[in-house]
Structure 1
Amino acid sequence: MVSQPSRRTVRGALVATAAVVAAALPTTPANAQPSAADALAKYNELSEKASQLNQDHLKAQGDLEAKQRELDKAKGDLATAQKAEESLRGQVDVLTEATNSGARFSQLSALLVSDSQQDFLNRMSAINILAADNAEALKQLTDAVNAADNATKTANEATEASKKLLGEIEQKKADLAKQLDEARNQYNSLSAATKNSLKNAGDMSTILVPPGTAGKALEFALAQRGKPYVYGSNGPDTWDCSSLIQAAYRSANVSIGRTSYAQAAAGRPVSRAEVKAGDIIVYYSSQSHVAMAVDNVRAVHASTEGVPVRIADINSIGPISVIRRIEG
C-alpha cells in the first residue's frame, strides 16, 4: 500500500513552487513611473503629430487664400464680361435698327437703285461693311455672354470651395489644439533636467557659410539660433520649422512655399551623400518637419515647442523623407 503525502508536505511543496514562479516574474511594481528616456520619446512623438497637424492647418489656410484669389479674379472677369456684353448689345441694337430701317440691301436692290457703275460699287461696299460689322458685333456679343457665363460658374465654384475649406480649417485648428494640449501636458511631466536639456540652444559659435544664394539663406537661419519655436509662427522672434526655411530663402531673394509639404517639392532632389550647406532636408513619411543643412553632418532647424532653433546632427532629427537643393 502506497502512503499518501501529509497536508504539511503538500503545503510545503506549494510554497516552494510559488517562490520559483515569483522569482521568474518581473520585479517592476505596477505603479512604476516611465523612465526619463521614455517620457522624452513620448513627448517627441506627440510633438511630431502636432507638427503634422500644424502643417495641415497651414496648407488649408494657403488653399483658402488661393481660392479667394481665384474668386476675386472670377468676380473681376465677370464684371469685365458684363460691361463688354452691355456695350456690345448696344452696338448690335444699332445695327439691327439700321437693318429694320432698310439699310440692309441685296445686290439686286443695289443694282436697281444705282445711278451708275460707281454708285453700285459704293452701295455694295457699304452693304458689305454693314454686314461685316453686324457679324463681328454678334460674334463679340456671343463671346462676351459666354465669358460672363464661365466667370459666373468659376465664381460659384470658388465660393463653394472656400466654404468647404473654411470648415476644414476649423476642424484642423481644433485637432491641432487638442494635440498641442497632449504634447504640453507631456512636456510638463518631464524632469527639470530633461527640460533644461531641451531648452539648451546648443552650438552658438560663428559658422562660415558659402557664397551665393544657399549661403545667404543659411546665414539667416543660423542667426535665428536660440529663438523659440511656436506652432504656426512666421517670425521674426519665433518660428515653426517651415516658416524658418521660407524666411531664410526669402532673405536670399528666393520664393518657396510656406509649408514643409511645399518645400519638399522645391528645387531639385539630391542624395544624402550629396548634402551640402543650404539644402532643405524634409523628415518623416508625412513630410511634416524640415531643416536646413549646415554641412554634410549638421542641420539647423526649429524643432518643437520647448526647444529653441538650434543645430543638430542631420540623422538624429528623424527619418529623412527627401532632400532638396534650391541653388545649383
Structure 2
Amino acid sequence: MVSQPSRRIVRGALVATAAVVAAALPTAPATAQPNAADALKKYNELQEQASKLNQDHLKVQDDLKAKQGELDKAKGDLANAQKAEETLRGQVDLLTEATNSGANFSQISALLVSDSQQDFLNRMSAINILAADNAEALQKLTDAVNAADNATKTATEATETSKKLLAEMDQKKADLDKQLADAKKVYDGLSSTVKNQMLQNGDMSNISVPAGAAGRALQFALDQRGKPYVYGSNGPNSWDCSSLIQKAYASAGVSIGRTSYAQAAAGRSVGRGEVKAGDIIVYYSSQSHVAMAVDGIRAVHASTEGVPVKIADIDSIGPISVIRRVEG
C-alpha cells in the first residue's frame, strides 16, 4: 500500500512532467500558421478583386476616349453646319432681298404686270423657283444645325456619364488600395520561404513556339517572364494581365482590345480540349483575368502584384470563363 507522502511525490512528479511537455509543444506556431494562411488567402482574394477593378477602370477609360471622339466629331459637324449656315443664310438673304425688292411677285402681281401670256408664265416660273430654292435652303440649314446640335448633346451627355463612372472607379480603386495595404502588412509577416516562392520566376527555359501570329505573340509573352505585375501598366518593364496579352499580339501585328473583357470577345471560341499555343484564356465569371496558352497544359500570365510574369498550369490559375483563338 502506497503511503500518503508517496502519493504526493508521484502526483508532484506527474505535474512537473506535464509542465515540461506543455512548454516544449509548438503552440505558438500552430496558432500562427492558420492566421498566416488566412492572411495569404485574404491577400489573394483582394488581389483578385483589384484585378477586376483594374479592368473596370481601364474599360471606363476606353469608353471615355470613345465618347470624347464622338464629341470631337460632333463639334466638327457643328462647325461645318455653322459654315453651311453662313452660306445658306446668305442665299436666303438674297432670296429675301429679291422678294422685298419686288423680284418675287405674287401670282396676282405677276398677272397684272405681264405683257403677255408667255411673260406671265415666265414670271410664275421664276416665283416657283425662288420659293423652292428658299424652302430647300432653309430646310438644309435647319437639318444641319439640328443634327449637329443633337450629336453634340448626346456626346456631351455620354462624356459626362463616363467621367462620373471614371470618378467612381477611382474611388473604388482607392478603397481597395487601402484594403490591399492592410492585407500586405499581414503578408509581410509571412515566412520568407512563402514569399520567396511567390517571387520565383518559374520556368525560364527556352520554349519553341509555332509559326504565325500566335507563335510570335507567345514568344513576346514568354520574353516578359520575370517582369513585375503593376496595376494599369502597359509595359515594357512591368505589366498587368491584359496589357501583356494586348502587346504580345500587337508585336505580331494583330490588334485586340486593352481589357480582359474585350479580349474575351476576340477571335473565336474554342474548347478546353482544343487549347493550343497562343490561345487567350480568360478566367473567372467576371472575366477579370487573362493568360496566354503555352500549350495544352501551361499558360504564361501576369498574375498579380508581388508575383512576376511566369508560366503556370492552365487549370491552376483559376476557373476558366472562355478560351479565344485569335489566329486560325
Q: Aligned ranges for residues 272-311 of structure 1 at < 5 Å?
A: 272-311=272-311
Q: Aligned ranges for residues 225-240 of structure 1 at < 5 Å?
A: 225-240=225-240
Sort the Cα spacing of 1:179 and 1:321 in 2 relative to 1 into closer, same or farther, 3 A: farther
Show the counterpart of 1:12.
none
* Cα distance in 2 for residues equivalent to 1:85 and 1:147: 13
Sort the Cα spacing of 1:235 and 1:271 in 2 relative to 1 into closer, same or farther, 3 A: same
Q: Deviations over 1:46-91 (max 9, x none)?
A: 2212212222222222222222222222222222223322332222
Matched, 1:32 2:12: no
Show the counterpart of 1:197.
197
CA shift for structure 1 position 125:
4.2
What secondary structure does 2:311 align onto? strand
* Cα distance in 2 for residues equivalent to 1:286 and 1:162: 21
2:227–2:237 contact (8 Å) kept in structure 1: yes
CA shift for structure 1 position 190:
2.1
TM-score by length of 1: 0.83
Q: Deviations over 1:242-277 (max 9, x none)?
A: 110011111122221111122112222111011111
What secondary structure does 2:307 align onto? coil
Matched, 1:139 2:139: yes
CA shift for structure 1 position 98:
0.9
Matched, 1:258 2:251: no
Q: Which amino acid aligns with 2:247?
A: A
CA shift for structure 1 position 29:
6.9
What secondary structure does 2:312 align onto? strand
TM-score by length of 2: 0.83
What secondary structure does 1:327 align onto? coil
CA shift for structure 1 position 159:
4.5
Show the counterpart of 1:215.
215
% of aligned pairs identical?
A: 79
Show the counterpart of 2:317.
317
Sort the Cα spacing of 1:157 and 1:217 in 2 relative to 1 into closer, same or farther, 3 A: same
Show the counterpart of 1:267.
267
What secondary structure does 1:102 align onto? coil
Q: Which amino acid aligns with 2:286?
A: S
CA shift for structure 1 position 100:
2.1
CA shift for structure 1 position 117:
6.3
* Cα distance in 1 for residues equivalent to 2:272 and 2:117: 87
What secondary structure does 2:265 align onto? coil
Can you give the 5+ residue segments of structure 2 that lack an aligned partner in the other structure?
1-25
Can you give the 5+ residue segments of structure 1 that lack an aligned partner in the other structure?
1-26
Sort the Cα spacing of 1:202 and 1:29 in 2 relative to 1 into closer, same or farther, 3 A: closer
